[in-house]
């Protein structure tokens, strides 16, 4: 194993010090390690709200990590700029010989990493990437024909079988912090959100350990409570998985110690997350197009005013309005309600799923391209393993089943008495005719 005098660990979707694969490998192969996070204007410039709570979340987590590291005379270098420019410059300034990262499977991230790697290799700097944000990478699991899975159930069976056969993939990669550079050698450029022209807006708890512990105390009830939006039945770990403030390996190790339906069902949600990452990694066309090409033939009516009323939670359908008010006011929406609101937009208002996907991407604190894309394609029936086109969530029966006492509606739908903006049976019939016409 080659050992470097000084390496760099580039934090991205892995904002933690514990069980962090790239950090572990950097410390293992280097005399000194420089940690860095780069606020990328390519990403930030797409955010119109300069109080975007996701940026605030990242910055607050970085500050917390810095405070922990300062107690050991260490820190994290925080920079602003395009990575392909910043990283080579930092490597030259700090005499870096190798850069360590954790893999990212989004097409834009893959292109970014390839560009950075090319820039670094021209300067003689090595570049290493490792699996960290998933248990099983998109390229690791194939069906009997040697191709990626396209249906969830057989993928899940193969995923669980693979895990039991290769339990080393959930090993704990705990780095030795002593190898990080001393803080007096590092000059951080970004010291406040104002330095990147953003404002603080903390909307969720950044303490991943606390959120994890709270959930695992009630995980045995997960399968009976998770579908009821008025109850605190979900994990609330999605934002922590999104930004890597918790290790997915740690979560799966915890589940391994448990028995019962609750932990079994929750593990399925982890596998759904990896299924959609696998789909994105192997079929990147889903970013802009339907997985099933025939669904791209649909010409959506796309009533602009109807879309605006859906976004604002002014449809007159209480469960839809409650969900959109929850999203707009908190940056989060219960998963059951995500499915109901998505189905309503596509199959009752007859609006292109991509418009809804983009709105969720703008508002969700836990926005993850693969999961958001997969969920919307499932709801519109255009995805690989989707609901059939004739399955349409009825907002009234869904409310009766999952919010029977009206607690969720009372919390988030201020205009429960408003008249429905469309005739539900008529629009449902129009939807079926639309799909049949193009399919």
pLDDT of the residue at 80:
97
Write out the two tokens for 55.
Answer: 């940026």
Tell me which of 10, 306, 353, 378 is the catalytic residue: 353
Res. 69 pLDDT band, cuts 50 70 90: very high
Report the pLDDT averaged over residues 365-390: 92
Res. 90 pLDDT band, cuts 50 70 90: very high
pLDDT of the residue at 386:
73
Cα–Cα distance, 269 to 320 (Å, whole number): 23
Report the pLDDT averaged over residues 384-406: 92
For residues 373 and 49, the model is more confident at 373
Known catalytic residue at 266:
no
129 shares its domain with 141: no
Question: Domain boundary at 282, 309, 332, which?
Answer: 282
25 shares its domain with 152: no
Question: Domain boundary at 221, 255, 282, which?
Answer: 282
277 shares its domain with 138: yes
CA distances (Å), 405 to each of 183, 221, 224, 382, 399, in order?
Answer: 55, 20, 16, 34, 9
* pLDDT tens figures, 142-194: 999 999 999 999 999 999 999 999 999 999 999 899 999 999 999 988 999 99
277 shares its domain with 371: no
User: Does 415 score more than 70 pLDDT?
Assistant: no
pLDDT of the residue at 387:
75
Is residue 4 one of the residues assigned to a domain? yes
Res. 438 pLDDT band, cuts 50 70 90: confident
* pLDDT tens figures, 314-370: 999 999 999 999 999 999 999 999 999 999 999 999 999 999 999 999 999 999 999
**Number of domain units in the chain:** 3
Known catalytic residue at 310:
no
For residues 248 and 256, the model is more confident at 248
CATH classification at residue 246: 1.25.40.80
Is residue 35 one of the residues assigned to a domain? yes
Known catalytic residue at 272:
yes
User: Does 385 score more than 90 pLDDT?
Assistant: no
Report the pLDDT averaged over residues 255-267: 94
Known catalytic residue at 394:
no
Res. 85 pLDDT band, cuts 50 70 90: very high
300 shares its domain with 332: yes
Tell me which of 272, 306, 332, 378 is the catalytic residue: 272
Report the pLDDT averaged over residues 12-22: 97
372 shares its domain with 337: yes
For residues 333 and 386, the model is more confident at 333
Tell me which of 250, 269, 303, 328 is the catalytic residue: 269
Average pLDDT value over all residues in the chain? 95
Is residue 184 one of the residues assigned to a domain? no
User: Does 281 score more than 70 pLDDT?
Assistant: yes
147 shares its domain with 102: no
Is residue 144 one of the residues assigned to a domain? yes
236 shares its domain with 350: no
Q: What percent of the chain has pLDDT over 90?
A: 93
Res. 1 pLDDT band, cuts 50 70 90: low
CATH classification at residue 56: 3.40.50.620
Structural domain of 54: 1-133
14 shares its domain with 140: no
User: Which strands sit side by side in the sheet containing 126-130, from one edge to the other?
Assistant: 77-80, 30-39, 4-11, 98-102, 126-130
142 shares its domain with 129: no
User: Does 37 score more than 90 pLDDT?
Assistant: yes
pLDDT of the residue at 416:
59
Is residue 196 one of the residues assigned to a domain? no
Is residue 178 one of the residues assigned to a domain? no
CATH classification at residue 309: 1.10.579.10
Tell me which of 159, 306, 310, 376 is the catalytic residue: 376
53 shares its domain with 108: yes
Q: Which of 173-177, 194-198, 241-245 has the lowest mean pLDDT?
A: 173-177
Is residue 182 one of the residues assigned to a domain? no
User: Does 434 score more than 80 pLDDT?
Assistant: yes
Known catalytic residue at 103:
no
Write out the two tokens for 229.
Answer: 């939006």
278 shares its domain with 335: no
pLDDT of the residue at 171:
96
Question: Domain boundary at 282, 308, 342, which?
Answer: 282
Is residue 177 one of the residues assigned to a domain? no
Give yes or no for a contact between 363 and 51, defined as CB atoms under 8 angstroms apart. Answer: no
Tell me which of 18, 300, 303, 394 is the catalytic residue: 300
Report the pLDDT averaged over residues 102-119: 97
Res. 236 pLDDT band, cuts 50 70 90: very high
């Amino acid at each position: 194993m080659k050992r470097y005098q000084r390496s760099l660990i580039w934090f991205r979707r892995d904002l933690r010090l514990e069980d962090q694969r790239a950090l572990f490998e950097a410390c293992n192969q280097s005399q000194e390690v420089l940690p860095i996070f780069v606020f990328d204007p390519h990403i930030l410039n797409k955010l119109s709200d300069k109080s975007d709570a996701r940026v605030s979340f990242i910055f607050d987590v970085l500050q917390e990590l810095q405070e922990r590291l300062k107690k050991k005379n260490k820190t994290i270098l925080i920079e602003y700029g395009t990575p392909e420019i910043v990283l080579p410059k930092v490597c030259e300034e700090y005499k870096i010989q190798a850069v360590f990262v954790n893999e990212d499977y989004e097409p834009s991230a893959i292109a970014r990493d390839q560009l950075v790697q090319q820039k670094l290799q021209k300067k003689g700097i090595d570049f290493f990437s490792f699996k960290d944000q998933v248990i099983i990478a998109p390229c690791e699991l194939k069906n009997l024909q040697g191709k990626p899975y396209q249906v969830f159930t057989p993928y899940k069976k193969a995923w669980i079988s693979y895990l039991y056969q290769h339990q080393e993939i959930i090993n704990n990669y705990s780095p030795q912090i002593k190898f990080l550079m001393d803080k007096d050698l590092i000059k951080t450029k970004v010291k406040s959100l104002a330095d990147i022209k953003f404002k603080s807006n903390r909307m969720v708890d950044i303490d991943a350990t606390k959120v994890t512990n709270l959930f695992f105390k009630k995980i045995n009830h997960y399968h009976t409570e998770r579908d009821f939006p008025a109850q605190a039945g979900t994990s609330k770990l999605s934002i922590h998985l999104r930004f890597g403030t918790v290790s997915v390996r740690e979560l799966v190790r915890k589940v391994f110690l448990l028995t019962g339906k609750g932990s079994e069902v929750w593990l399925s949600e982890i596998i759904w997350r990896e299924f959609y990452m696998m789909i994105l990694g192997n079929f990147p066309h889903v970013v802009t197009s339907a997985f099933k090409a025939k669904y791209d033939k649909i010409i959506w009516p796309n009533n602009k005013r109807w879309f605006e009323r859906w976004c604002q939670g002014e449809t007159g359908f209480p469960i839809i309005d409650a969900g959109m008010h929850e999203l707009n006011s908190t940056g989060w929406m219960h998963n059951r309600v995500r499915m109901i609101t998505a189905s309503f937009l596509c199959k009752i208002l007859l609006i292109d799923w991509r418009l809804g996907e983009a709105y969720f991407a703008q508002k969700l604190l836990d926005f993850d391209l693969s999961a958001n894309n997969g969920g919307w394609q499932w709801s519109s029936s255009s995805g690989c393993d989707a609901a059939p086109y004739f399955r349409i969530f009825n907002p009234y029966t869904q409310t009766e089943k999952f919010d029977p006492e009206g607690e969720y509606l009372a919390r988030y739908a201020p205009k429960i008495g408003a008249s429905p903006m469309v005739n539900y049976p008529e629009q449902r019939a129009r939807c079926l005719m639309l799909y049949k016409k193009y399919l």
